[in-house]
Chains A and B, each alone.
Chain A
Amino acid sequence: MRRRVLPGFGISLGYALTYLGLIVLLPLAALAWKATDIGFEGLVRLLSAPRTLAALRLSVGGALVSALINVVIGLLVSWVLVRYRFPGRRLFDALVDLPFALPTAVAGIALTTLYAPKGWLGRWLEPLGIHVAYTPLGVLVAMIFVGFPFVVRTLQPVLASLERDVEEAAESLGAQRWQTFFRVILPLLAPTLLTGFALALARAVGEYGSVIFIAGNMPRKSEIAPLLIVQKLEQFNYAGAAALGVALLSLSFVLLVLVAVLQRWSNRWTEQAA
Chain B
Amino acid sequence: MKKIILRLLAALGVACGGVVFAKDVSLLNVSYDPTRELYRDINTAFAAQWKSQHGDNVTIQMSHGGSGKQARSVVEGLPADVVTLALAYDIDAIAERGLLAKDWQKRLPDNASPYTSTIVFLVRKGNPKGIKDWPDLVRSGVKVITPNPKSSGGARWNFLAAWGYALKQPGGNEDKAKAYVSELFKHVPVLDTGARGATNTFAQRGIGDVLIAWENEALLAQRQLGNNAFEIVVPSITILAEPPVAVVDSNADKHGTRDIAQAYVQFLYSPQAQEIAAKNFYRPRSADMAARYASQFPATHTFTIQEVFGDWHQAQAKFFKDGALFDQLVEGE
**A residues in contact (CB < 8 Å) with B:** 49-51, 112, 116-118, 133-134, 212-213, 216-220, 223, 227, 230-237, 240
For residue B262, CB closer than 8 A to chain A, the reply is: no
A217 near B322 (CB under 8 angstroms)?
no
A117 near B75 (CB under 8 angstroms)?
no
B322 near A237 (CB under 8 angstroms)?
yes
Complexed CA–CA distance, A220 and B327 (Å)? 11
**B residues in contact (CB < 8 Å) with A:** 66, 68-69, 72, 75, 93, 148, 150-151, 188-193, 197, 201, 204-207, 320-323, 327, 330-331, 333
A220 near B331 (CB under 8 angstroms)?
yes
The listed residue (B68, B75, B93, B191) touching A219 by CB distance below 8 A is B191
- Could you name 8 residue pairs across A and B whose Cβ atoms are closer than 8 Å? A50-B331, A117-B207, A134-B189, A134-B201, A235-B320, A236-B75, A236-B93, A237-B322
What total of A-B pairs shows CB separation below 8 Å? 69
The listed residue (B72, B191, B206, B320) touching A217 by CB distance below 8 A is B191
B150 near A216 (CB under 8 angstroms)?
no
A230 near B193 (CB under 8 angstroms)?
yes
Complexed CA–CA distance, A134 and B198 (Å)? 12
B207 near A134 (CB under 8 angstroms)?
yes
The distance from the CB of B262 to the nearest CB of chain A, in whole angstroms, is: 27
CB-defined contacts of B321 to chain A, threshold 8 Å: 235
CB-defined contacts of B193 to chain A, threshold 8 Å: 212, 217, 227, 230
Q: Which has the most chain A C-beta neighbours within 10 Å: B151, B320, B333?
A: B151
B327 near A51 (CB under 8 angstroms)?
yes
CB-defined contacts of A233 to chain B, threshold 8 Å: 69, 72
The distance from the CB of A83 to the nearest CB of chain B, in whole angstroms, is: 40
- Write the chain A residue with the least CB distance to B316: A235
Q: Which has the most chain B C-beta neighbours within 10 Å: A133, A217, A227, A234?
A: A234
Complexed CA–CA distance, A50 and B72 (Å)? 27
The distance from the CB of B33 to the nearest CB of chain A, in whole angstroms, is: 14
- Write the chain B residue with the least CB distance to A213: B197
B331 near A51 (CB under 8 angstroms)?
yes
The listed residue (A133, A234, A237) touching B151 by CB distance below 8 A is A234
The listed residue (A133, A227, A232) touching B322 by CB distance below 8 A is A232
Other than A117-B205, A230-B151, give 6 A-B pairs with Cβ distance below 8 A.
A50-B331, A134-B207, A216-B189, A231-B148, A234-B151, A235-B320
With contact pairs A117-B206, A118-B205 given, residues A240 and B191 touching in the complex (Cβ less than 8 Å):
no
A234 near B330 (CB under 8 angstroms)?
no
A231 near B327 (CB under 8 angstroms)?
no
CB-defined contacts of A134 to chain B, threshold 8 Å: 189-190, 201, 207
- Write the chain B residue with the least CB distance to A133: B205
- Write the chain A residue with the least CB distance to B333: A220
B190 near A218 (CB under 8 angstroms)?
yes
With contact pairs A51-B331, A232-B322, A236-B93 given, residues A216 and B205 touching in the complex (Cβ less than 8 Å):
no
B148 near A217 (CB under 8 angstroms)?
yes
The listed residue (A51, A112, A118, A218) touching B191 by CB distance below 8 A is A218
Q: A-B pairs with the 7 shortest C-beta distances?
A: A116-B205, A234-B68, A219-B330, A216-B190, A134-B190, A231-B150, A217-B191
CB-defined contacts of A50 to chain B, threshold 8 Å: 331
Complexed CA–CA distance, A216 and B197 (Å)? 11
Complexed CA–CA distance, A231 and B69 (Å)? 10
A217 near B190 (CB under 8 angstroms)?
yes
CB-defined contacts of B191 to chain A, threshold 8 Å: 216-219, 223
Complexed CA–CA distance, A133 and B201 (Å)? 10
A118 near B327 (CB under 8 angstroms)?
no
Complexed CA–CA distance, A51 and B333 (Å)? 11
With contact pairs A112-B205, A219-B191, A230-B193 given, residues A235 and B322 touching in the complex (Cβ less than 8 Å):
yes
The distance from the CB of B161 to the nearest CB of chain A, in whole angstroms, is: 20
The distance from the CB of A70 to the nearest CB of chain B, in whole angstroms, is: 26
The listed residue (A118, A217, A230, A240) touching B192 by CB distance below 8 A is A217
CB-defined contacts of B93 to chain A, threshold 8 Å: 236
CB-defined contacts of B322 to chain A, threshold 8 Å: 232, 235, 237, 240
The distance from the CB of B111 to the nearest CB of chain A, in whole angstroms, is: 23
